[in-house]
Amino acid sequence: MNIFRLLGDLSHLLAIIILLLKIWRTRSCAGVSGKSQILFALVFTTRYLDLFTNFISMYNSAMKLIYLVCSYATVFLMYFKFKATYDSNHDTFRMEFLVVPVGGLAFLVNHDFTPLEILWTFSIYLEAVAILPQLFMISKTGEAETITSHYLFALGSYRALYIVNWVFRFYTEGFFDLIAIVAGCVQTILYCDFFYLYITKVLKGKQLTLPA
């Protein structure tokens, strides 16, 4: 554990909590992609199956459980409790366009051809692209609520901090996991355009709107 990883984990946790609180407080999930949230729930489910097979630390298990519970809670709020506020006609990205190719890739490129390892690889690849329905939704409506943009910034920062962590671990421990690194870089690159808009607009007090 190093400071970059800890900050990355906390940033990830912050993102998840911002989104949950936003939905709970406003009693609305307008502007949030339910597809992305389903994909994140699937990411956590397939990645954290090792909760049952491997114990690493209390911190590790507790964070995994919190991520899992929060992501299912978000999906529940969106599709059941506050379903009336869900903007489904703007959330039109087809999940199978991500899940099917990513599933195929996980079968072909992995560290070890075992069920748990393939599911872990699947979750790493899927996480890299799971935000696309959300970004697609914002590009369709042309804007995002400020709180939604804070959520996206925290979520994007998490993987960017992990990249710094991987560089650090490579030099200090000689540890590297090429699958996680490549997917993590792809994931971070997908947020770059958003980071630019966030810094140039949201941090100056304006709402996030896309240039016409």
Partner 1 sequence: RAKPGGKDEL
Q: Is residue 23 within 8 Å of residue 74, measured between CB atoms?
A: yes
C-beta closer to partner 1: residue 2 or 200 = 2
Smallest separation, CB 111 to partner 1 (Å): 5
Smallest separation, CB 188 to partner 1 (Å): 15
Cα dist from 85 to 82, 96, 139, 175, whole Å: 6, 24, 19, 45
C-beta closer to partner 1: residue 124 or 144 = 124
Smallest separation, CB 96 to partner 1 (Å): 27
Other C-beta atoms within 10 Å of 32: how many? 27
C-beta closer to partner 1: residue 56 or 167 = 56
Per the structure block, which two tokens stand in for 107? 């079968």
Nearest partner of 185 among 127, 99, 135, 120, judged by Cα: 127
Smallest separation, CB 2 to partner 1 (Å): 11
Per the structure block, which two tokens stand in for 35? 């597809």
C-beta closer to partner 1: residue 55 or 196 = 55
Given the rule CB under 8 A, which residues bind partner 1?
5, 9, 12, 47, 50, 53-54, 56-57, 60, 63-64, 67, 111-112, 114, 116-117, 120, 162, 165, 175-180
C-alpha to C-alpha distance for 131 and 39, rounded to whole angstroms: 8
C-beta closer to partner 1: residue 60 or 146 = 60
Smallest separation, CB 67 to partner 1 (Å): 7
C-beta closer to partner 1: residue 4 or 86 = 4
Q: H helices of the chain, where?
A: 3-26, 34-47, 58-76, 96-108, 115-129, 132-141, 146-173, 178-200
Q: Is residue 122 within 8 Å of residue 27, measured between CB atoms?
A: no
Smallest separation, CB 117 to partner 1 (Å): 5
